[in-house]
Structure 1
């Protein structure tokens, strides 16, 4: 019996030593991955969306200015050095290995596309950078929805002008913007706090900016702090207050980044999560969860009711107009995938900028100015657009395996605190 006990102890020690060595190897690969992401950020100002790791690594990246081709080559070598998971590898460890592998795939793909060595079309960008491919639709499939919106707003003149006049009733006056956003974000935070334990030091600063290709942005700074910016270049309608409050704040980007930092960087010392490369599979989880978080925090008709009873009066908008505004929002939301198709055709070179603007005016009812801004987004971010609607739908599928709202919040929180990617959601 004594010999068996000694033998068992030796085996246990061998396994423990092997596990420690493997963990050390993964940690070293994770550090090199972070440094390669920072190096790529020197060639594209928007590539590194957030970084809160050692400042020395960032300074090192600036000083070296490694060529894109070398970054790609180093990333390919690094990917080959990743340990292989087995059926006995704990789930979180398997998820971590897979995360590093797919993030390296995206880094390699982005580098090749940036250097011109391998120009990626829309679907190739989707697969290599975001670990998925969004559904394909024909633009003509959306014509019945367009007709329904047109019928909803009868009258003289082009439909774009009628819609512009309709939406003008719901614009937040400039002098009411701060009050509306403060109240909307507070509600998003209060509802999130009922289900997610927020960090005691979490906080954000809200700024209003112009001349951006996006409507809102979260710049995560680390230590549970974010800078949230809202683009006021064009009028903001009342529905955007809750959308941006949830998406950029609670339970969206601010909450997601704070939980990842606390659970993976601080508690597990997984340094790969101290950097966030924008053009990577992590973005689909980030954008998808941020958009799904809106309907999770405001299920059913609750968003419309909150806007009608609380935000409309603050903004000085007649609550009696809410029913038509809600219906208009439901119809136009269904047209979201039409914008993907315009982006696909534009990025693939099948249509030019003028045609893209025209199609966006028809299928998203955007003004010419807003459609032009949207095309600027395509120019800057490419196939990133799939992360918003397709990402939302993938997260919805992951979360809504139950009708119980508390269980949905639990699954959502689990997602925000783990290294899951689009193709590992069902692990």
Structure 2
């Protein structure tokens, strides 16, 4: 890691040396603590990352800890044993009076660590070959159990879209043909994305105090299973990548700008770093395990952030007045486009049912692609990419639609100032289970 990040952790009082007890726990007779457990947790996550590339989504803690993880790879069985020991330590801490007099924030910290250790243990069991049902896996990794509605329950929505876009050919073909008028030409992608992200940032900064030095870089890539990705680098910096292999529509410029940037992943990670790593020295927040409850909050808040930043018809107006001219497109059909987008959003959870059947082997890959084309109204290329995403990330798909709905409901229960509720969530260790209680 960069020297500046190492220096940052030193400033907040986190030891850069790899302590002997980071893996094994405190020495005999030494009192345990949440700080000691947090160090052991970070080492566990880094070691799992050596077994599974991509598992560690971000890390900006002490560089020596990452070096140590790379130097000696442990087996899944050894790491499962360490996860179990961490769970025992967290339980013992409460049982033996170690949490006596703890503040509400410290109580939540212990709960947060316990949930993430549990998710890490589940992921290790999967790496070892354990197979869970889609819903069991989602609950074990992300801390919330999805419902799997029957696919026919989405047929009324398809019927509404059929009425909106009448004509010959399949509904999927008609939707693709209609949406072709809203594809951003590749030679206009940079100015359109720059404008969209800048507007997302402007709207967010009105309500949330961003770190003074926060920043990001933007690049276009290809051959990815995702449409956009935020790589958080620490020190309030991100690298945002946009997959330009498939068509990018004008509304996706807003979606990606908010989701990957403001008030989405970039802001979420920057506020976590500022609140916990810089101000409190809670080292567990310097590592982001992808398959964890953290991702449910991250993806859910990033998707809800789109609606928060562009409520009502404001997104449509911004597309029409700013993005369409930048892209050289005709804005005359934007109203029907918005109605279509609202209906397509209602189809999001069909993917969970399809993924469940596909991952369980009840349908093959070709049928999964066909069903995604039919129920998500995607082209064959886009549906194939989405099934590739399911191959790689499995039950992670619940974090988008279900995550958005759960986050939205929680934020809007907090009061009339939804931005305040959002900021509270983004700078917290609130878990998915807390959002539904």
- In structure 2, the residue matched to 1:94 is 107
Say if 1:334 and 1:132 are closer, same or farther in 2 by CA, change over 3 A.
Answer: same
Q: CA deviation at 1:132?
A: 0.4
Deviations 1:14-36 (A, max 9, x none): xxxxxxx9996111110011001
- In structure 2, the residue matched to 1:175 is 187
Q: CA deviation at 1:131?
A: 0.4
Say if 1:327 and 1:63 are closer, same or farther in 2 by CA, change over 3 A.
Answer: same
Name the CA distance, whole Å, in 2 between partners of 1:78 and 1:346.
34
Structure 2: tracts of 5 or more residues without a match: 1-28
TM-score (structure 2 length as normaliser): 0.90
Given candidates 318, 336, 341, the residue that maps to 1:306 is 318
- In structure 1, the residue matched to 2:21 is none
Aligned partner of residue 81 in structure 1, secondary structure: helix
Q: CA deviation at 1:162?
A: 1.8
- In structure 1, the residue matched to 2:62 is 54
1:26-175 pair list within 5 angstroms: 26-82=34-90, 83-84=93-94, 89-116=102-129, 118-175=130-187
- In structure 2, the residue matched to 1:401 is 413
- In structure 2, the residue matched to 1:412 is 422
1:194-205 pair list within 5 angstroms: 194-205=206-217
Name the CA distance, whole Å, in 2 between partners of 1:166 and 1:335.
18
Q: CA deviation at 1:159?
A: 2.3
TM-score (structure 1 length as normaliser): 0.92
- In structure 2, the residue matched to 1:255 is 267
Name the CA distance, whole Å, in 2 between partners of 1:27 and 1:401.
33
Say if 1:293 and 1:38 are closer, same or farther in 2 by CA, change over 3 A.
Answer: same
Aligned partner of residue 211 in structure 2, secondary structure: coil
Aligned residue pair count: 404
Structure 1: tracts of 5 or more residues without a match: 1-20
Name the CA distance, whole Å, in 2 between partners of 1:392 and 1:87.
36
- In structure 2, the residue matched to 1:423 is 433
- In structure 1, the residue matched to 2:363 is 351
Q: CA deviation at 1:89?
A: 3.3
Q: CA deviation at 1:426?
A: 6.4
Name the CA distance, whole Å, in 2 between partners of 1:164 and 1:192.
32
Q: Which runs of 4+ in 1 moved over 6 A?
A: 21-24
What's the C-alpha RMSD, in Å, of the aligned pairs?
A: 1.6
- Whether the 8 Å contact between 2:415 and 2:421 is mirrored in structure 1 is no
Q: CA deviation at 1:243?
A: 0.3
Q: CA deviation at 1:309?
A: 1.3
Name the CA distance, whole Å, in 1 between partners of 2:415 and 2:431.
24
